[in-house]
Amino acid sequence: AETVSVEIMNPGTAAQSTFDVVYTVNGGAPVTEAYTGAAIPSGGTGTFTFATTADLSSVGAYVIEAYTILAGDANNTNDTTTRTVENLGGTPLSIPYSENFDFFITGTSGILSNGWTNVGPFSWFADDNGTPSTGTGPSGDNTSGLGVYLFTEATGRDGGDVMIVRSPCIDLPAVGPHRLSYFYHMIGGDMGSLEVFVNVAGVLTRIDSIGGEQQTSGTEAGRESVLDISAYNGQTVFFEFRGTIGPDFESDIAIDDVSVFEAACADVGASSVTAPATSCSLSIADTITAVIENFGLTAQDTFNVSYTVNGGTAVTETYTGPAIMPGMSASFSFA
């Protein structure tokens, strides 16, 4: 039993205070009620809430059409509006939440798992062992290099096509600094863009946008984006990842390791390795450089940083550079 509310506009020259308002759901029986509120002046608007509720309890999409009936209306072409809403089903999940996609079935069916769904005519696919198109990536997933990630296949698509994948619903607690984190991989000479939206009660807000090529090879590590979503505390939200295809097939976009969590005061991490890069002339003494990000709430200036090669013995050194402020990053090169 969902309440239906509509905004009514008066584009005429005379104030209006008595007329009928109607809604239908998926073309079903019309619900007609009388507007008898304050007069809506010329050029003004008013809100009308139906006493009769709508049954939207089944999972799926609903097209709600609303219109007015006014005696003597000289222009009824502007009387009607529509809105599509969806019942996504399922129980909203709690934080901390994480999804590495490793148990998704790979292939081109576009059928996903664990509450993740494709929206619209074009799909994201679960994949492992490298994207099919030459000159694109990644060559493996972000979690271990051996698991599964989601990606957009640009081959056979037109430039400007948009692939939308939606997360399950997640309850954000009313109190606390909350973050959305995900890793992305975008390599290809025709690279398009990746956008992230948060949906609260049907209102979509863009919270991230990344355009153009971001990696230099399929084997380069994914980059992490950490977004402050504390503005949506106390709400049930879901996230949409939108990949827009570039002008040709070298435009595959991948995401992995999506998580929603409460930010800690002290939280730094290595988000990517920027050197060395794949080359024909790597040596016995190559410098390792990593990007260090401050995911926490306080500045950090002294901590250990380590690296391993092929799972070997860890090399540990101390970062003592300028303080890294919350939300900022710094480059660290091992001696």
Give the confidence band of 133 by pLDDT, cuts at 50, 70, 90: confident
With a cut of 80, say whether residue 90 has pLDDT above it: no
pLDDT at 1 (0 to 100): 85
pLDDT at 129 (0 to 100): 86
For residues 298 and 325, the answer to whether their CB atoms sit within 8 Å is: no
With a cut of 80, say whether residue 89 has pLDDT above it: no
| Six-digit token string for 161 | 């096509």
With a cut of 90, say whether residue 296 has pLDDT above it: no
**CA Rg, the chain, in Å?**
25
pLDDT tens digits, residue range 37-88? 899 999 999 999 999 999 998 888 899 999 999 999 989 899 999 998 888 8
| Six-digit token string for 201 | 């009660």
Burial (CB < 10 A; 0-12, 13-18, 19+), residue 10, is buried
Q: CB neighbours of 308 closer than 8 A, spacing ≥ 6?
A: 314, 315
Burial (CB < 10 A; 0-12, 13-18, 19+), residue 200, is middle
pLDDT at 108 (0 to 100): 86
Average confidence score pLDDT of the chain:
93
Give the pLDDT mean for 307-333: 94
Give the pLDDT mean for 84-93: 85
Burial 283-308 (b: 16+ CB within 10 A, else e): eeeeebebbbbbbbeeebeeeebebe
pLDDT tens digits, residue range 149-181? 999 999 999 999 999 999 999 999 999 899 999
Q: Could you tell me the maximum CA-CA distance found in the chain, to the nearest angstrom?
A: 87
Report the candidate in 93, 97, 299 with the shortest Cα–Cα distance to residue 178. 97
Rounded to two decimals, the pTM is 0.71
pLDDT tens digits, residue range 208-248? 999 999 998 999 989 999 999 999 999 999 999 999 999 99
Cis upstream peptide for 138 (omega within 30°): yes
d(CA 176, CA 186): 32
d(CA 277, CA 123): 32
Give the confidence band of 293 by pLDDT, cuts at 50, 70, 90: very high
With a cut of 90, say whether residue 131 has pLDDT above it: no
Report the candidate in 78, 72, 18, 76 with the shortest Cα–Cα distance to residue 48. 18
Give 110's DSSP letter. -
Q: Three-state DSSP class for 235?
A: coil
